Amino acid sequence: MNAPLPRAAAAVAAIALLPALAFAQAQSGIHRAFMDPECSPCKDFYRYANGAWLDRTEIPPAYNVVGAGREMVDRNQAVLHRVLERTAANVASEKDPAIRKVGHLYAVLMDSARADREGVRALSEELAFIDAMKTPQDVQRALERYALHGGGWFTGATAPIRLQPEADPRNSRMTIAQLWQGGLGLPDRDFYFRTDPRSVEQRRVYVEAIGRMLALAGAPEEQAKAQADAVMALETALAESSLTRLQMRDPHLLYNKITVKELGRLAPNIDWPAFFTHVGLPALARPTAEVDASMPGFLRQFSAQMAAVPMDTWRAYFRWTVLRRAAGWLGKDAEAIQFALMKTFTGQQEMLPRWKRATQAVDAYLGEALGKAYVASEFPPSSKKRMLEMVANLKRAMAERIASRPWMSAETKKQAKRKLDAIVEKIGYPDKWRDYGKLEIDPSKSAVANLIAAQKHDARWQLDMIGRAPDRTLWGMSPPTVNAYYNPSFNEIVFPAGILQPPQFDPNADEAVNYGGIGMVIGHEITHGFDDEGRKYDADGNLRDWWTAEDGRRFEALAGKVVEQYDGYLGVDTLRVNGRLTLGENIADLGGLTIAYHAWKLSLKGRPAPVIDGWTGEQRFFLGYAQAWRRKYRPESVRQQLLTDPHSPAEWRVNGPVSNMPEFRAAFGCKEGDALVRAGEQQIVIW
């Protein structure tokens, strides 16, 4: 998906980081206490680097996974928590209106007593709208309401049909409207059809949660149970026509630009001119106006369901949708239902503390206002300067790798180099901060009312982009975010300040460890521009094939080997990594680590790397990388990741790439026959 907001388009790498809370490190930056010296690095490098930590670490009850990245998220949240508590306490004297809104929103979100007192009555306006639905035309009114709420309530995109902006894949200089499938309550459409015992049990718990929530909102118990079954049947019908996650990795399959007149023939039970007019996009009411109907099969099915499904089921469906998304702010009874459901999929034993959930919500809707304070505290200009230097070095290394690829023709190399040179890097925080002047936060109203106001504000901001040239200064993540991404439509790599903190990135740290940490992240995002999806976009962000036919075939043959390698990795129980679903991320991991290694070598300028704490520079590079991926999962969490996430589990994000690198083999003296030595044709080198 390629929207003008990078968060909707990005091939996002979920980067787990070095331990942010343990600053008493050895001189090298490597944590010897995390390691298992009894394990051979050539057999299981992930275990060698992290085994002792894995053995002794317990996952806290409120988490489904812990590790370096979780620790950095916690550290950043602690910084934001201090800012928010101080802001809320001094909001009356605050002169900056955006910061006042930050303080007011945090304060109402923290008012658990009011949430318990009001319960589901806080959603009375939304529920009254749903109760008044009588005809299929009212289902359309609900779709319009969803569009003006940004797709759903508070978090996630829950609208059955999501309206959002995207940079036109064939003309990235224009923002068009995109219609996207949604409306499912389970984590993925495949969860509705899997027949293994665990999936069957999860569906049972899901239907039970629907009934409990509808009963909490006033439905008689038996009626609520019957409605829950009907809602499940409706969602299953929608899931049948939803594209799979694997299908959604194909940008050509997702590009279906048609006129509004053609859209009317595709989904005739929706009055599309009225729909676009009611959401404030009258230019799209013209029959000749064009939109991207990304999932035509889903749109056709939803239109058919509008007329076929009884209105009582539609009302129950929409009630469940809004209750489910708002549950965390509707008091302890709704929270308990929500958590019992979530626990089934994540294995968490406790909900996150309210202050953490409130911090996440403020960051979601006022992230750049909150981010100003974060940047001032945590990200000095010197760090931005150092990062820009590292990015330049990584791009130089990538240029050398492109030039030396034996499987690429001179013409394709020329186009690849042009794309690499055109990549824009965004570091730390935006050059232009977002204006929140039109957002109204009312401290006299409930958390739910203010979150709806925030989501409406965000939705209007996004919908107003349609029909205009994309604003390429926009960021898709707030400054405190611990992540990074590549956006193919803008051909940009973006690194929020939240990921650029010690010990993942430390301007004063050993360069080998820095390059194994943030250097690999930079290389990973650069490589996304040349993975199996990113390679389909040109230097200007347009969906255009710039490869010769033979080079394209050679790339796909190499990519097929990556699929085969990762298909062989066991995740949990008998569930294996899906090599096709994770292909883009696996290519980016392999390319990113390779590029980072060669960029580190370039940074030495011919000088030998020193031996520190008994490790060579080469060993520190790989150890820094492996310890950055230190994670421990609950079984439920890794199962869900294997089924839904395009990233491989951490163990294979370490052992998978290093097994293909002769540089790793040399650093640790590995020999043919060792588990992490892929010899001959088994060794995969793309970038």
pLDDT 10s digits, 181-222 = 999 999 999 999 999 999 999 999 999 999 999 999 999 999
| Interatomic CA distance for residues 635 and 641, integer angstroms | 10
User: Which residue's structure tokens are 């303080």?
Assistant: 103
Partners of 632 in beta bridges = 66
Phi, psi dihedrals of residue 426, rounded to the nearest 5°: -115, 125
Any idea which residues carry the catalytic annotation? 525, 589
Residue intervals in the chain for CATH 1.10.1380.10: 138-347
User: 3-class SS at 548?
Assistant: coil
Query: Alpha helices, DSSP H only, in 503-548?
Result: 511-514, 520-528
User: Higher pLDDT residue, 9 or 292?
Assistant: 292
| Interatomic CA distance for residues 351 and 204, integer angstroms | 21
Residue 2 above 90 pLDDT? no
Give the mean pLDDT of the chain: 94
Residue 650 above 60 pLDDT? yes
CB 478 within 8 A of CB 363: yes
- DSSP secondary-structure letter at 648? P
Q: 244: buried, middle or exposed (CB in 10 Å: 19+, 13-18, 0-12)?
A: exposed
Q: What is the pLDDT of residue 437?
A: 97
Amino acid found at 620:
R
| Interatomic CA distance for residues 487 and 9, integer angstroms | 6
Amino acid found at 466:
I
Average pLDDT of span 356-363: 97
- pLDDT tens figures, 315-338: 999 999 999 999 999 999 999 999
- pLDDT tens figures, 5-46: 333 333 333 333 333 333 234 467 899 999 999 999 999 999
Q: Give the residue among 37, 16, 3 at the shortest CA–CA distance from 614.
A: 37
Q: What is the pLDDT of residue 19?
A: 30
Token digits of residue 383: 């760090």
User: Which residue's structure tokens are 């590292």?
Assistant: 390
- pLDDT tens figures, 528-568: 999 999 999 999 999 999 999 999 999 999 999 999 999 99
Confidence of residue 501 (pLDDT cuts 50, 70, 90): confident
Confidence of residue 491 (pLDDT cuts 50, 70, 90): very high
| Interatomic CA distance for residues 482 and 72, integer angstroms | 7
Residue intervals in the chain for CATH 3.40.390.10: 6-16+35-58+380-428+471-682
Amino acid found at 102:
V
Whole-angstrom CA distances from 61 to 16, 349, 351 are 20, 5, 8
| Interatomic CA distance for residues 373 and 84, integer angstroms | 10
Residue 115 above 90 pLDDT? yes
Any residues with CB less than 8 A from the CB of 346 and at least 6 apart, and which?
64, 634, 636, 637, 640
What secondary structure does DSSP assign to 149-214, as a single string?
TTTSSSSS---SEEEEEEEETTEEEEEEEEEEE----SSSGGGGT--SHHHHHHHHHHHHHHHHHH
Is the Cα torsion angle 159, 162, 163, 167 positive or negative in sign? positive
Residue 169 above 60 pLDDT? yes
Radius of gyration of the chain (CA): 25
Any residues with CB less than 8 A from the CB of 587 and at least 6 apart, and which?
527, 531, 532, 559, 562, 686, 687
CB 650 within 8 A of CB 46: yes
- pLDDT tens figures, 625-641: 999 999 999 999 999 99
Token digits of residue 235: 């969602």
Partners of 66 in beta bridges = 632
Partners of 495 in beta bridges = 427
What percent of the chain is helix, strand and coil (3-state, nearest 5)? 55, 10, 35
User: 3-class SS at 571?
Assistant: strand
| Interatomic CA distance for residues 493 and 11, integer angstroms | 10
Q: What is the pLDDT of residue 221?
A: 97
Any residues with CB less than 8 A from the CB of 79 and at least 6 apart, and which?
374, 377, 378, 480
Any residues with CB less than 8 A from the CB of 277 and at least 6 apart, and which?
285
Confidence of residue 503 (pLDDT cuts 50, 70, 90): low
Q: 503: cis peptide before it, omega within 30°?
A: yes
Residue 1 above 60 pLDDT? no
Least confident of 156-165, 194-203, 493-502, 610-619: 156-165
- pLDDT tens figures, 386-425: 999 999 999 999 999 999 999 999 999 999 999 999 999 9
Confidence of residue 152 (pLDDT cuts 50, 70, 90): low
Q: 126: buried, middle or exposed (CB in 10 Å: 19+, 13-18, 0-12)?
A: buried
| Interatomic CA distance for residues 520 and 499, integer angstroms | 13
CATH topology of domain 6-16+35-58+380-428+471-682: Collagenase (Catalytic Domain) (3.40.390)
Strands (E), 21-77: 65-67
- DSSP secondary-structure letter at 468? S
CATH number of 138-347: 1.10.1380.10
